[in-house]
Amino acid sequence: MLKQRILTALVLIPIVLLLIGFAPLTWLYAAFSGVVLLGAWEWTRLMGLAANSPLRPVYVAVSAVVLLIAWWARADWQVLGQFAAIWWLVVLVLICAYPRVFANHRPGPLLLALIGQFMWVPAVVCLTLLRDQPDGALKLIYALTLVWAADTGAYFAGRRFGRVKLLPAVSPGKTREGALGGLLLCAVWSVAGGLVAFGLHWDATLVVFCVLSVCVAAVSIVGDLGMSLFKRLSGIKDSGSILPGHGGILDRIDSLLAEGPLFAWGLLLVGLWQ
């Protein structure tokens, strides 16, 4: 499994770096949208649509139109960031409430269709506009690698030290030690990111940036757990199998969908969005 993950990453990372570094902003938005639309196709399984249902491509097409309108209308990314903060707080409450308050209650397909838009529209818009910042390519790369640091730290810390389950009813494989290991690695990585990608110095601003990074890394865990909850409610183990060793697209971008808009909004709050 680990070997497959590494091989898949070695193929995808150069493509991602080329897009971030050289693609025009509209093309980058289109690329991000394309990834999300693959995720939307997987999301239709969670909605309970049959494999041959004509509503599956219809939902993907509607998602494409929503993303196109968001870009064409120059949707206010600050509003989207604030909305994302509220949405992921709601998801956190749902995660903590499961299964005590509700269990085996599958949301209807219309509600899930709406939830999908809640997740990916803010992320695609905010991450794309982050690239439009001064030194935006470095900042966007940092935003992506912060999620990967949280995931990598959690994976190895969980394997080595994992004892206490984080939320076994939602995601039995995750441990508190793993989550802590992921956040610790993010704390270390945030120092390098602040100095290199954001040009900060060894002062209070760097400390604030590191705190922000760890907080949004924690939000990325909420994104991961939220997707696990929706899959559990839908009776699905993996969203797909398109990426060897990684599962589906949604299994790879769930953390980023939560982290992306909150990171952008957080930069604005601490005065680092220029």
Place of tokens 């696990």: 228
Integer Rg of the chain from CA: 18
Is residue 274 in a domain? no
For residues 239-262, average pLDDT: 81
pLDDT tens per residue across span 204-222: 999 999 999 999 999 999 9
For residues 168-178, average pLDDT: 94
Is 1 a residue whose pLDDT tops 80?
no
Place of tokens 């912060």: 146
Is residue 187 in a domain? yes
Distance of CA 226 to the CA centre of its chain: 10
| Mean pLDDT computed over every residue of the chain | 92
Is residue 167 in a domain? yes
Is residue 134 in a domain? yes
What residues contact residue 272 under an 8 Å CB cut-off, 6+ apart? 198, 205, 209
Question: What is the C-alpha to C-alpha distance for residues 238 and 252, in angstroms, rounded to an integer?
Answer: 11
pLDDT tens per residue across span 142-163: 999 999 999 999 999 999 999 9
Q: What is the pLDDT, as a whole number, of residue 235?
A: 84
Distance of CA 85 to the CA centre of its chain: 13
Is residue 209 in a domain? yes
Structure tokens, 165: 């389950």
Q: Which amino acid is residue 24, in one-letter code?
A: P
Structure tokens, 177: 């030690």
Domain count, the chain: 1
Question: What is the C-alpha to C-alpha distance for residues 102 and 134, in angstroms, rounded to an integer?
Answer: 46
Is residue 95 in a domain? yes
The reported pTM is: 0.93
Q: Which domain holds residue 60?
A: 2-269
For residues 69-77, average pLDDT: 90
Is 2 a residue whose pLDDT tops 90?
no
Residue 243 phi/psi, 5-degree rounding, is -110, 110
Cβ(134)–Cβ(77) below 8 Å: no
